[in-house]
A and B are shown apart, each in its own frame.
Chain A
Amino acid sequence: EAQVTQNPRYLITVTGKKLTVTCSQNMNHEYMSWYRQDPGLGLRQIYYSMNVEVTDKGDVPEGYKVSRKEKRNFPLILESPSPNQTSLYFCASSSGVNSYEQYFGPGTRLTVT
């Protein structure tokens, strides 16, 4: 089954404690992206990757890092989380940056206290 998986699905953490949200897709997609969703603001792009070892900033990259060492994985790293990073996070993948099918992960709800 074609899918994008994210882990963990829910996370409560404290300010400053480094965390990683994993994202994996099984469709051999080249394009992957991270978004955060906040009430009243909608989905905003954090980082994206066109292919292995190719990553770039989206609209709201501050406080986040990513890596793309393998095609299937695109982890999101918060080196020092802060309360303003409390949000719902989605990973997505597709065969190309503007392809017809966009596949989204189930979401990770992060709370930073």
Chain B
Amino acid sequence: KNEVEQSPQNLTAQEGEFITINCSYSVGISALHWLQQHPGGGIVSLFMLSSGKKKHGRLIATINIQEKHSSLHITASHPRDSAVYICAVPGADGLTFGKGTHLIIQP
């Protein structure tokens, strides 16, 4: 079973700061998911990436398959970015999740 580690567990930052969340995993994979869980509890997919970098608005995700590491960056952070960010890796029977990073952006 793949072990998925996220850091930091908690992150509080000021509006406008550049945010980085890290995810590492133990077994080689073909792709990785980043998910966002809103304060109300709902979970949405942000990215699935298998190499290089993907960008969606102010969110950028990168992955290094050889180093078994991915990062999620948020540029010009805003209070509405406050959420739990979860990385997940695919396996034979479904996803294995990191424990999440609880991000709070203060105005």
Contact = CB atoms under 8 A, between A and B. Distances in A.
Given A42-B98, A104-B42, A58 B93 contact: yes
A45 interface: yes
Contacts of B86: 42-43
SS class of chain A's interface: helix, strand, loop or mixed?
strand
A81 interface: no
A101 to B, nearest CB: 6
A109 B42 CA distance: 12
Contact of B93 (A42, A43, A45, A104): A45
B41 A102 contact: no
A97 interface: yes
A102 B42 contact: no
Interface string A37-60: 000111111001000000010110
**Chain A to chain B: the 10 pairs with minimum beta-carbon distance, closest first:** A98-B90, A42-B99, A104-B43, A43-B97, A107-B41, A100-B48, A42-B97, A102-B45, A48-B94, A33-B94
